[in-house]
Amino acid sequence: MMKGFARIFEAIIASVVILASLTFFFVPNIQASGWGDAMIQNLAQDAIESAYFNGTLTRYVKTDDRAPLNAFMTRMLPQTVDFSLEVSRTVNDIINIVCVDCTNDDVNELKVILNPLDFSYKERNISIRVQPLAMATNSVPADTNILFFFNKVLIKTYESKINSTLSNGGSVVLLSDLTQQDVQGTIGTMFNLTWLGTSSSTAEFDDVYDGSKVSHYVARYYANNFKKNLPDIAADTFTFHYSSVRTENDLKNIAKTPGPNSNAFVRANYDIVNSNGRSVWISDYTRTDHNDISTKATDNLTKASVMWASGEKFKLDMTKKYPAPVNFRTGIIVFDGDVYAVELIVWRIYF
């Protein structure tokens, strides 16, 4: 009797040992369903679509009324998540410009070119703020959108600081005549310029209708500043000192002489450093009388180019937020006088 019980006990122990050894070779492959992530993604999409279709989104973007928009999103989303709202493809509501190593006269001149500094674009209030900065002894303020230069020599002097700004998504604008040496150096690389050799002084928009070209967006801003439509400004001309810069077969010409192998007077560049940053070069022009019709037109072209250089991306958050590494993004294209995109970024508070 005892011997039989011992054999049964031994068999049980042996079975346990065998099963335990098998678990070493057969590791269970259990994967998360991802249902929680899908639910957050759906809630985010529902929230931004609800805000758009009930008029909340467009109303608060126009008025820059961030508190009620953020309150609406807070009600729509679970308490376990945080969020950020980003608008892109339209001019920034606030454009902070640093005029690098500028005198008081330079700052005043820039303000006259960009006048009025507070204006309306598609029923949105836009504000341009200009301040001088001695770059050799000061850091670039964190909220800077554009580094503006009248002095082309400073581009090479501050190349490292400019590239740092570009890498962080900022922009640089240069208003200056150029020589062949300039174009074949740092300026040519930063602003994507090549030398043509022949010179001209009159330009028009490259293309006001093609939405893939920078000139289309600059033309939209230009037309709005003059309270006109795109067909009304397609044939507008601009007078500069001269330009021997060549147009390129790309999407970055803004103002040029008509036809192929022509002169460029305003050129854009983008995704310059680490796929970030924008730049605009503007050939200089006679600015002694800003009431002159020709000067007004070129002033307005300069302002419209600055509006594009603002980055066309801004947040609608109440405070500065940094999304968690794991986040969920959803967006919507808004058609409301202007066409722009709004992206909602959502992340778990505890991740």
Task: Please indicate, yes or no, whether residues 98 and 238 belong to a single structural domain of this protein.
Answer: yes
CATH of the domain at 142: 3.40.50
224 with 283, same domain?
Answer: yes
Residue 140 and residue 281 in one domain: yes
Q: For residues 115-153, b (16+ Cβ closer than 10 Å) or e, as one string? A: eeeebebbebebebebebbebeeeebeeebbbbbbbebe
Against a cut of 0.75, is the pTM above it? yes
Based on the domain organization, do 134 and 45 belong to the same domain?
Answer: no
User: For 344, left (φ over 0), alpha (ψ -120 to 50), or beta?
Assistant: beta
Instruction: Flag whether 170 is in a domain.
Output: yes
Most confident stretch, 5-9, 29-33, 288-292: 288-292
What's the pLDDT tens digit per position in 187-206?
Answer: 999 999 999 988 899 999 99
Residue ranges making up the domain that contains 74: 34-81+317-324+345-351
197, 272: one domain: yes
Does one domain contain both 113 and 75? no
Asked whether residue 336 is domain-assigned, the answer is no
| Shared-domain flag, residues 68 and 121 | no
Q: Is residue 1 part of a domain?
A: no
Q: Is the model's pLDDT at 32 over the cut of 80?
A: no
Count structural domains, the chain: 2
351 & 236 share domain: no
290 and 141 part of one domain: yes
- Residue 303 confidence (pLDDT) above 90: yes
Q: What confidence tier does 149 reach under pLDDT thresholds 50, 70, 90?
A: very high
pLDDT tens for each residue of 318-347: 998 989 998 999 999 998 888 899 999 999
pLDDT number for residue 10: 61
> pLDDT value at position 101?
98
Domain assignment of residue 218, yes or no: yes
Backbone dihedral angles phi then psi of residue 330, each to the nearest 5 degrees: -145, 150
